[in-house]
Structure 1
Amino acid sequence: MSMQLVLLFVIFCNIPSVIVCQDNSDEEMSYSFEPEERFLDIFPLSSDNFTDSVMKSPDAWIVIFHSGQLKKSWKSMAVNLRGVVWVGMVDTRYETDLLKRMNYKVNHDPESRVYPHGPTSIKKKSWVNAKNPNEARMLAVDSIPDSSLRIKGKGLQEFLVDCFMSKPTRFPLILITDEKDTPVLYRAVSYRFKKYFNAARIVKPTLDDYTALGMEDSFFDTPLLFVLLPEVKDKGSKATTQDMGFSAVMFETKKMGDLNYPNILRFLFGVNNSYRHILPGENQSNDQEVAEMLDIVRLESKRFEIEEPHPIPKTENDDNSVKFTMTKTTHGDVHDEL
């Protein structure tokens, strides 16, 4: 029996988007950031938290050194990398012990240092100094691995088998894109959620790809992000992927906002909360750690205020949503460098 996918559209209603500041004005124009946005994405680092926050983290970190003032270009970079890379700052006036441990020389070494993605051993031997935000961003982003799988329509069934044979069962997360290289945002999301979502990319889709997905009669803008949900046709027998129909929960930009990290985070938490129990195999929906993705909650709560997720609405009249707001990590002693 050939596998056919029937797409159902889930409407997201009244979900506020997270505003990402985009500003290309001169360094002096740092007042263009709203007060609540300043330092929102930059974490103060000290001797007490540096090892646990940076060195023991598998994620890439950009560490900025300052003496009470910070260029707006660093703030712009941090906002641009929100959720993708962690950004911290060290006050060189007070953290002399930490600077000695880091072998950082004030007035000699560059303004920042990049600790690449990987374990402590990699961070200890592969950190790199960076002279400016562009260099720091490039070094940090390039270190993020790509755990997504590039597939074509004909490889869809094998991909789904891999999803449903995982323990716990993983949702099939698919990005349709015209970009040959995996977007850094998708690399970050794929790695962060790989325990719960199996990420794939269909690049420059052909008509055959759309046909395999059951999307040949519809038009979609790219990039398009969605999660496939199984629907067993014959509930009286043990289901295989060939016995299943599939619906799709779409990331609807008109309702969810821009395709950025906080909005994708909200989307994936909503999907897991609403649909994990219907996944075949060992979905572990009765395990609180898996059902609520508590390991990710513990991590992301350091930079977002995470409210208890509500089921994703299935009709336009249902305005429940998973809400994420930014945690304010303002550092009042650091001023704009004019």
Structure 2
Amino acid sequence: MLFRILLCVSLCRFAMAASATTDTKYDEKATYDMTHWGLPSPGEIPEIYRCLNHKNFKETVIQSRDTWVIVFTNGTLETSWRSLANFWKGAILFAEVKQHGSVMLMREIGLSAQIEAKIAVTINTQNIGVVFPHGGEKMKRKYKVCENTGMAIKHVLKGLPSEEVVLSSMKEREEFMYFAYLSATPQIPVFAIAESKDVGKLFLAYYRVLAYMFKDYFRFAIFRTDDDQDIFKDIFSDGEPITNLRVPTMTALIPNIKNQEISYDSFPFATEMMGSIDFMSCVYWLYIVNDQYRPDMPRPTHSSYEEEEAEMKAIAKMLKKRATMLNQCNEGELRKEEL
């Protein structure tokens, strides 16, 4: 209770003087041993799943809660689709189905004869994608046929749950932090800045996947570069002009209470330490933040770090299992093509 009272009072102060109370607590040269989590390495996750067919479609796609994008090709995956698959690698699952295997799969999907005929003709000259949104079988049946990656991006975003909070005022930021720290299981606030268009939309897709996947342990917010910079520049800029920031970018803030005063440890996503920002590097970063701060966070008596750790391990196990399945199939497909 004391923590709640102090935090409530201190958050009001923080809204007025955050830049003076935020410290950066990370070492860009540090190395972190993450083997105890059993996460897949980025190299273990293929961009494209190439073993989808009418026999395994239901088990692989319909029974999965992940977003899937099936791309029908004449044997050549276009650069635009390959680039999109690479950008979303690990967050949005892509499968390529070549012309000789497309007819049976389209019938298994349940496409109308008219759409099936259109795809059969169109893939001679261009790739066609079918987006299966996040969720169970009912949602998967609301698939969308997309003639280009722009349409696919639109429907992928539309189908993802929006657990992230878009902040546009200091009051919203204050309330966001308050509810994060005082949740039944303490949530670490994560802030991101992204553009409103282009790369910002691509980033938003896997940011939403992160926000949904880790919603019990982190609370995700996003600022837009065209919003009032006063509400986020103290978190990100560290005294530097906000225009110098490379976006998208992320940071986490953790409360540090001493002598009834609160300060915040800032742990930014540092490309020097994590490499380029993508889905799996963000996953690794979240686990590093978790290791550094969660054990010491105040929590209700009915909540324990051991329980939180077990559930975080369950997420890591799921990611590893999925990567293993995709890799085993792709390796088999490659061997077959080499014969």
| Both structures adopt the same fold (TM-score exceeding 0.5) | yes
* Matched length: 287
Indicate how the Cα distance of structure 1 residues 231 and 298 shifts in structure 2: closer, same or farther if over 3 A, else same: same
Q: Can you give the 5+ residue segments of structure 1 that lack an aligned partner in the other structure?
A: 17-35, 235-241, 306-325
Indicate how the Cα distance of structure 1 residues 222 and 7 shifts in structure 2: closer, same or farther if over 3 A, else same: farther
Residue 11 of structure 1: aligned partner = 27
Q: Are 2:45 and 2:89, in contact at CA under 8 Å, matched by a contact in 1?
A: no
Residue 191 of structure 2: aligned partner = 174
Indicate how the Cα distance of structure 1 residues 84 and 249 shifts in structure 2: closer, same or farther if over 3 A, else same: same
- Is 1:70 aligned to 2:89, yes or no? no
RMSD: 3.8
Partner SS for 1:57: coil
**Alpha-carbon separation, structure 2, partners of 1:258 and 1:107:** 39
- Is 1:58 aligned to 2:102, yes or no? no
Q: Are 2:91 and 2:206, in contact at CA under 8 Å, matched by a contact in 1?
A: yes
Q: Choose between structure 1 and 2: higher helix proportion.
A: 2
Residue 182 of structure 2: aligned partner = 165
**Alpha-carbon separation, structure 2, partners of 1:232 and 1:149:** 25
Partner SS for 1:156: helix
Alignment of structure 1 residues 12-91 onto 2, 5 Å: 12-13=28-29, 40-47=47-54, 49-65=56-72, 69-73=75-79, 74-90=81-97
Indicate how the Cα distance of structure 1 residues 149 and 115 shifts in structure 2: closer, same or farther if over 3 A, else same: same
Q: Can you give the 5+ residue segments of structure 2 that lack an aligned partner in the other structure?
A: 1-9, 33-42, 120-127
Q: Are 2:48 and 2:94, in contact at CA under 8 Å, matched by a contact in 1?
A: yes
Residue 254 of structure 1: aligned partner = 272
Q: CA deviation at 1:260?
A: 1.4
Residue 161 of structure 2: aligned partner = 145
TM-score (norm 2): 0.69
Q: CA deviation at 1:272?
A: 1.4
Partner SS for 2:22: coil
Q: CA deviation at 1:143?
A: 2.3
Letter in 2 for 1:285: Y
Q: CA deviation at 1:52?
A: 3.4
Identity of aligned residues (%): 21
- Is 1:119 aligned to 2:136, yes or no? yes
Q: Deviations over 1:263-308 (max 9, x none)?
A: 1111111111232112222463112x64561332133224557xxx
Residue 216 of structure 2: aligned partner = 195
Q: Deviations over 1:53-103 (max 9, x none)?
A: 321333321113457x23243433321322332112346646876543323
Among 263, 267, 274, the alignment partner of 2:285 is: 267
Indicate how the Cα distance of structure 1 residues 37 and 169 shifts in structure 2: closer, same or farther if over 3 A, else same: closer
TM-score (norm 1): 0.69
